[in-house]
Structure 1
Amino acid sequence: MQFTASTVSLTVDDVARSQEFFTAHLGYAVRHAADGFVSLSHDDAVDVVLLARGIEVLPPEQRDQRVSGLILAFTVASGLADEEKRLREAGVRITMPLLEEPWGERLFQVTDPNGVIIQFVEWAAPQHG
């Protein structure tokens, strides 16, 4: 099997609010849109599809589900502290402030208006001793 793309599909209450968040703050662009559906793309990240909760294209047992327990994580090469500052100044809700784990992972989290948790990660340079 050969994959041609990777996409995360998220079911949310308000597609327009998440679309605005992803395009305004994360650099995503709208590729396709219809009532209750939007496909977003980014040159450097996984594509994201937003579906309205209750949309009939989903099987009946999935229609009423919301995004829950999912963390959409993006790894950046550098500048994590600057990104946190930029998002904070733009009024984005920082739900986990920047921290550094003992194993060298630096990270912070934001949450979009529909409760989608987005985590940004930067790995510290390995220590040579």
Structure 2
Amino acid sequence: MSLQITASTVSLTVDDLAASQRFFTTHLGYTEQAAAEGFASLSRDDAAVDIVLLARGTEVLPADQRDRRASGLIIAFTATGIEDEEQRLRAEGVEITMPLREEPWGERLFQVTDPNGVIVQFVEWVTPPAPVDA
């Protein structure tokens, strides 16, 4: 296969572009790379996926996509130090929509939701406890 992917971007259609843009830049460390009427491109300096925000109804979208909203998806970031991150976000007034928890298979995670309902999940993998011999 000759296809070589050089970056990944998720494009989200939202009702209030400015609110999502503020959320991602203020709380999640994104910076604006480009912006125009009904459009904003956001990026981070690490391995996080780039984000393009599109205002619902914008004419750059095909007609059958213009009135759709970002829903039913979770943007998941695998990271380290998520306990501190949850505390920082909580202190900044971000609503933690799923508090930090640890799953039996060794995944620690929590979620926040942006003003347009975009769910952002932070995941940290921990070594599961060794089985106890009976």
TM-score bracket relative to the smaller structure: over 0.9
SS at match of 1:74: strand
Q: Alignment partner for residue 70 of structure 2, among 67, 70, 75?
A: 67
CA RMSD for the aligned pairs? 1.0
What does residue 40 of structure 2 align with? Answer: 38
Q: How does 1:76-91 map to 2 (within 5 A)?
A: 76=79, 78-91=80-93
Inter-partner Cα distance in structure 2 for 1:26 and 1:13: 20
**Which residue in the other structure is 2:50 paired with?**
47
Rg larger for: 2
In structure 1, the residue matched to 2:23 is 21
1:81-123 superposed Cα distances (whole Å, 9 cap, x missing partner): 1100100110101110000000000000000011100000000
Q: Percent identity?
A: 73
Task: Give the secondary structure class of the aligned counterpart of 1:61.
Answer: helix
Structure 1 outlier segments of 4+, above 3 Å: 126-129
Q: TM-score, normalised by structure 2?
A: 0.92
CA distance in structure 2 between the partners assigned to 1:68 and 1:80 by the alignment: 24
Unaligned 5+ runs, structure 1: none
Give aligned pairs, total: 128
Which residue type is aligned with residue 100 of structure 2? L
